[in-house]
A = this chain, B = another copy of it.
Amino acid sequence: MAPKSQALQTNMDVDYVISYRFAKKDKSVAISKFEELVQALASVGFNTEVRNGDLQSVLLFVRVASDEHLFGEVYRSRVRDWIHGVRAAAPPKETREALEAEPLYEAERLRIIYQLITNPVDEGGAGITPGEGEWENVESIFALHDLAYNKDWIKKWTTSYFLKTEDLDDIRNRLGEKIAFYFAFTQSYFTFLIFPAVFGASAWLFLGHFSPIYGIVSAVWCTIFTEWWKHQEVDLGVRWGVRGVSRIETKKRDFKHEKQITDPVTGETVLIFPSTKRLQRQLLQIPFALTAAVLLGALIATCFSIEVFISEVYSGPFKSVLVFLPTGIATTVMPILSSILTNFATRLTKYENYQTDGAYEAALTQKIFVLNFITSYLPIFLTAFVYVPFGNIIVPYLDVFNLTVKPFADDKKQIQAPQAGFTINPDRLRKQVIYFTVTAQIVNLGMELVVPYLKRRVFSRYRQMKEDRAVKRSGTPPPPSTNRSATPSPPSPNDPPEDAAFLNRVREEAELEVYDVTADLREMVVQFGYLSLFSVVWPLTPLSFLINDWVELRADAIKICVEMQRPTPCRADTIGPWLDSLSFLTWLGSLTTSALVYLFSNDGLGPDGHPSNITGWALLLSVMLSEHLFILLRWGVRIAISKLDSPGLQKERRERFLVRKQYFEESLSQVGRLPKMADLGEKITRESLEEDARRASLKASTPEDRFWSRQKGWRETVAVAKGLIEKAAVEGSSEGKKEL
């Protein structure tokens, strides 16, 4: 085997690589910090090796020293799971036994090692926090790609139409549950898209646009999908043994407390940040959302107005060029504005000072969703609900642009009098929806794959140049350090030849970006939004998404393998706060779809063929009706889906049943049933009666004792009752006879 390909196959048993950057640090400080780092790692049981990184960084290779160390951590983690209700039963106390019963999968191993590196010292970790606080020169901690697996993965996915649950299991075993949940969600969504794609295509052929039938089917489908996915999450959570992990709260490291109190419950010291104060800070979200809406809205409205003006009012010179002006503005200013706002949202969320990672993430997701909602859907909302109904009123005001354009117009006639010439272009809405659901999706997909690649190429060339210059300047190759045979061979002169290819690969991976699964998830949720909100405009939308998502799933796999560092496995039992966004979009879809159908049936001319016939109350009534039907439908779907059984739920039931049975048997084994009473009071003899009488007279008899001593044993009770019943029955029957 050639050394090169071997270097690609082996990861040298490395668990994690820590990239330590010292560029900005004083030399001695950097060294002492590095010493602390290595010592901290050694103290929790890691082997370490250091190698050259790029110009101003070293790479620290980390490996768990012994299996015993790791197994102890695994056991601890499983016990914690059990206590938090993630596992039904406690793991067996014998560690080896536990691991044999339930082998460690790779993602679990990597996750536990990562926790061992990053957990605070008092929780038994090394307390390394990359890029934060005292560890700010720990640039990143990443595991190495498993190239053989990656190759297989890509090959398998690109050659199969559908992904099976086993494929998702594979992802979970390699990359952890959080990423597996993303792929599972996208795959479910993809599968669910088949029906509306087919139905949409038929609707497009036979029913035309804005078909109420398509609208209803689409709304029902969106509801079913959302509710079904909730069910599926539970199922997958059980399948992957992570159901309930989101309840295990990890504390945020940069949480700032205002006071310390002693918990009345646990007696522990608890750090408190008053929730009223947090609420005050959270209220800043309202001005933030308004500002974002105004800024982005203004930008979108401006571009939109310019576009409408140029394409429909203006007919002066440069029209063919000017048409691209709004797109130009949008594509340059929008991303900048977006990233500024996202940045601001992150800072705002940090300022809100959440105590747990979960709360922080939920709050951030919420803000990001608002921003995405505005940038993604506002243009279409403007067209549908402002331009078309009120276009005749608003467009004349676009005259202001005429003033700007006038200097360029030689001939006055080139500018139409907008009042006269303008009519609403009902096709604009459809064109816009097609743009967002086809063009933008393709562009997006391209950007995801191409941009990081280009970025990496440019950056690596720049660094190469810089390094070359540095080498040239210093004149001589650096002196060989201890333990190393100096070799002049590229890429790094200090590498031992047999490791060179491997180290080179690691250096490349160190420069890759960190994969953020929420960005991909967001993309899917936004896409779902187009479907639920606007697909009634253009029923081919689901078909377009179906094709797009097939590619997307594979592209994401390639992205993870090629463009990104190997993601650190992370557990999750849900797609998290995006689920709420999904529900919100489904609900909003019931409003927009009915409004669109009402407004645009007959191709934008209103229900009776004239836009003027659109009446407010009918619009509101159809929207209200649709919303309440939707709520009713969702309730029905929820109930129906809650009745579904699934392998995951069965597994959970089985586990719980076994645990209960075991507990019950353990607890009750000691309490044997007491002797039955049926045998008592068997015989009423003269002796027993006399004995009773004697005992009764001996005792200081209370009314209670006397009451209960009249009939001894159940046979006496029966005998007495017999007498009573016979007597009464005689009376009753005699009475009956007499009354006849």
Which residues of chain A have a CB within 8 Å of any CB of chain B? 6, 10, 12-13, 20, 22-23, 27, 30-31, 34-35, 38-39, 41-50, 52, 55-56, 58, 60-61, 63, 65-66, 68-69, 72, 75-76, 79-80, 82-83, 90, 93, 95, 124, 264-266, 275, 469-470, 473-474, 478-479, 481-484, 494, 496, 498-499, 502, 615-617, 619-621, 623-624, 643, 650, 653-654, 657, 660, 663-664, 667-668, 670-671, 673-674, 676-678, 680-681, 703-704, 706-708, 710-711, 713-714, 716-729, 731-732, 734-735, 738
- Return the contact of A664 from the options B27, B79, B620, B724 (Cβ within 8 A): B79
Contact partner of A724 (CB less than 8 A), chosen from B52, B663, B676, is B52
CB atoms of B95 and A671 under 8 A apart: yes
B717→A38 contact, CB < 8 A:
yes
Decide: B31 and A667 in contact? CB cutoff 8 A. no
Kindly list chain B residues whose C-beta atoms are within 8 Å of the C-beta of A731. Answer: 55, 470, 474, 478
Contact residues in B for A670 (Cβ distance below 8 Å): 93
Contact A677 B45 (CB under 8 A): yes
CB distance from A158 to the nearest CB of B (A): 31
Q: A671-B76, A729-B22 are in contact. Are A703 and B12 (CB under 8 A)?
A: yes
A614 → chain B closest CB, angstroms: 11
Q: Which residues of B contact A48 (CB under 8 A)?
A: 711, 714, 717
Complex contacts, A27 vs chain B, CB 8 Å: 725-726, 729
The answer to whether A470 touches B10, judged by C-beta atoms less than 8 angstroms apart, is no
User: Are A714's CB and B42's CB within 8 A?
Assistant: yes
CA distance A56 to B706 in the complex (A): 26
Question: How far apart are the CA atoms of A545 and B428 in the complex, in Å?
Answer: 58
For the complex formed, measure the closest distance between the CB of A410 and the CB atoms of chain B, giving whole angstroms: 48
Partner of A710, one of B79, B483, B654: B483
- Cβ of A474: which chain B residues have Cβ within 8 Å of it? 731, 734
Separation in Å of the A591 CB from the closest CB of chain B?
A: 10
Pairwise interchain contact A703-B10, C-beta atoms closer than 8 A: yes
A58 to chain B, nearest CB (A): 5
Q: Is the CB of B79 within 8 A of A725?
A: no
| Shortest Cβ gap from A596 to chain B (Å) | 17
A-B contact pairs, 15 of them (CB 8 A): A10-B703, A38-B718, A41-B714, A42-B677, A43-B676, A47-B708, A50-B724, A55-B732, A68-B674, A72-B673, A95-B671, A470-B735, A483-B716, A494-B724, A616-B620
Q: Closest 8 A-B residue pairs measured CB to CB?
A: A616-B617, A617-B617, A42-B714, A620-B620, A265-B654, A27-B729, A481-B723, A43-B678
Report the minimum CB–CB distance from A40 to chain B (whole Å). Answer: 9
Contact B44 A677 (CB under 8 A): yes
Q: Contact between A56 and B704 (Cβ–Cβ < 8 Å)?
A: no
Residues on the B chain within 8 Å of A39, using CB: 678, 714, 718
Residues of B within 8 A of A473 (CB): 734-735, 738
Contacting residues, chain B, for A265 (C-beta < 8 A):
650, 653-654, 657
When the two chains form their complex, are residues B45 and A674 in contact, meaning their CB atoms are under 8 A apart? yes
Residue of B nearest to A124 (CB): B673
Contacts of A706 in B (CB 8 A): 498
Q: A725 vs B32: C-alpha distance in the bound complex, in angstroms?
A: 11
Task: Report how far A624 CA is from B110 CA in the complex, Å.
Answer: 52
Given contacts A72-B671, A617-B620, A729-B30, contact A13 B677 (CB under 8 A): no
Closest chain B residue, CB of each to CB of A44: B677
Q: How far is the CA of A483 from the CA of B668 in the complex (A)?
A: 42
Main secondary structure of the interface of A (DSSP, over half): helix
Q: State A52–B721 Cα separation when bound (angstroms).
A: 8
Residues of B within 8 A of A478 (CB): 727, 731
In the complex with contacts A473-B734, A704-B10, A732-B23, A668-B76 CB distance below 8 A = yes
- Residues of chain B within 8 A (CB-CB) of A734 are 473-474
Bound Cα distance A669, B42 (Å): 24
Residues of B within 8 A of A720 (CB): 50, 481-483
Residues from chain B with Cβ under 8 Å of A723 in the complex: 481-482
Cα distance, A275 to B714, chains bound together (Å): 45
**What residue in chain B is nearest A733 (Cβ atoms)?**
B27
Q: How far is the CB of A674 from chain B (nearest CB, A)?
A: 6
- Whole-angstrom CA separation of A643 from B273 in the bound complex: 13
The one of B82, B617, B660 in contact with A83, judged by C-beta atoms closer than 8 angstroms, is B660
Asked if B58 and A721 make an inter-chain contact with CB atoms under 8 angstroms apart, the answer reads yes
State whether A711 touches B55 (Cβ < 8 A). no
Bound Cα distance from A45 to B674, whole angstroms = 9
Looking at the complex, which one of B12, B38, B75, B710 makes contact with A704 (CB distance below 8 Å)? B12
For the complex, give the distance between the alpha carbons of A727 and B53 in Å.
12
B76 touches A654 (CB 8 A): no
User: How far, in whole Å, are A295 and B218 apart by their CA atoms in the complex?
Assistant: 37
Q: A474-B731, A502-B707, A617-B617 are in contact. List 17 more A-B contacts (CB 8 A).
A: A13-B707, A22-B729, A31-B722, A31-B725, A31-B726, A34-B722, A42-B678, A46-B677, A47-B708, A48-B717, A58-B728, A79-B667, A264-B650, A479-B727, A483-B716, A620-B621, A620-B624
Shortest A663–chain B CB gap in Å is: 6
Q: Please pick, from B69, B80, B616, the residue contacting A674 in the complex, using a CB distance under 8 A.
A: B69
Asked whether, in the complex, the Cβ of A75 is within 8 Å of the Cβ of B671, the reply is yes
- Residues of B within 8 Å of A708, CB to CB, are 12-13, 47, 49, 63
Most buried by B among A44, A48, A479, A721: A721
| CB <8 Å contact, B6 and A83 | no
- Complex contacts, A49 vs chain B, CB 8 Å: 707-708, 710-711, 717
Nearest chain B CB to A272's CB is how many angstroms away?
Answer: 12
